[in-house]
């Protein structure tokens, strides 16, 4: 069992940690199932599966920013359970905390742009097809230090916090490498065939250099505990 979860107080037992992780899995599954059922039932009314989900990104110092909570600075790393993800065409407007467009269909995204222009929506005035970008959006359940303490003591966290993490192409490469290493059993204490959605992952940032020797900040991932 991972140190972050097991060593929180002297009274914590392995049984409590297991119970806390069991509670977490149940909470996550119930929340995801409830959300899916709601949006499927109300699709005709324009209900958006991710309308209320805030985005995470990194600033120039490599710190995580939660754009749905007054741009809260979460620090140098976060703990998360990844629940899914997709490569989508997105269009971001400066100053906005959510993309104006996020769809897997490029033609649909372009059509959305021209409809916005025809409607004289000011957000589309200076936007063209060139502003579209394809990026990977990973869905995750965010866990803070207090959540980990509650889990380790066998309790239930107050709220399952579903977020979306933007990954650039180089970030997606590191993400894929992490998934492969996890599945191949390359991490000590994690058995072969371990899947991404069955572990709590520590997500942090590292300094890297491009082939042209330019410095940039990239995401990195390591498993913390099985769930």
Query: For tokens 């971001």, what's the residue?
Result: 92
Query: For tokens 């222009």, what's the residue?
Result: 117
CB 200 within 8 A of CB 45: no
> Is the pLDDT reported for residue 156 higher than 80?
yes
pTM of the model: 0.82
Other CB atoms within 10 A of residue 178 CB: 21
| Mean of all residue pLDDT scores within the chain | 86
Give the pLDDT mean for 47-75: 81
- Between CA 93 and CA 123 the distance in angstroms is 7
pLDDT tier at 172 (50, 70, 90 boundaries)? very high
CA angle 176–140–137, rounded 5-degree value: 55
> Is the pLDDT reported for residue 9 higher than 70?
no
> Is the pLDDT reported for residue 35 higher than 50?
yes
Other CB atoms within 10 A of residue 1 CB: 15
42-51, 114-123, 173-182, 205-214: lowest mean pLDDT where? 42-51
**pLDDT of 173:** 93
50-54, 98-102, 103-107, 132-136: lowest mean pLDDT where? 50-54
Give the pLDDT mean for 159-164: 88
Angstrom CA distances, 58 to 147, 181, 209, stand at 22, 24, 17
Give the pLDDT mean for 175-196: 95
- Between CA 113 and CA 111 the distance in angstroms is 5
């Amino acid at each position: 069992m991972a140190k972050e979860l097991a060593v929180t107080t002297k009274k914590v037992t392995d049984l409590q940690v297991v119970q806390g992780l069991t509670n977490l899995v149940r909470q996550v599954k119930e929340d995801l199932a409830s959300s899916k059922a709601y949006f499927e039932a109300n699709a005709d009314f324009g209900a958006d599966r991710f309308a209320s989900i805030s985005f995470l990104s990194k600033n120039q110092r490599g710190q995580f920013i939660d754009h749905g909570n007054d741009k809260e600075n979460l620090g140098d790393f976060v703990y998360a359970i990844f629940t899914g993800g997709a490569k989508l065409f997105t269009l971001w407007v400066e100053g906005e905390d959510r993309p104006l467009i996020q769809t897997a269909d490029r033609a649909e995204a372009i059509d959305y742009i021209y409809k916005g222009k025809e409607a004289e929506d000011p957000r589309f005035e200076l936007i063209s097809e060139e502003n579209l970008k394809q990026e990977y959006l990973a869905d995750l359940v965010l866990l803070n230090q207090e959540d980990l303490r509650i889990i380790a003591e066998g309790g239930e966290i107050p709220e399952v916090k579903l977020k979306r993490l933007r990954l650039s192409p180089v970030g997606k490469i590191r993400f894929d490498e992490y998934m492969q290493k996890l599945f191949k059993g390359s991490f000590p204490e994690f058995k072969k065939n371990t899947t991404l959605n069955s572990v709590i992952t520590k997500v942090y940032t590292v300094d890297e250099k491009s082939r042209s020797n330019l410095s940039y900040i990239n995401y990195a991932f390591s498993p913390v505990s099985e769930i």
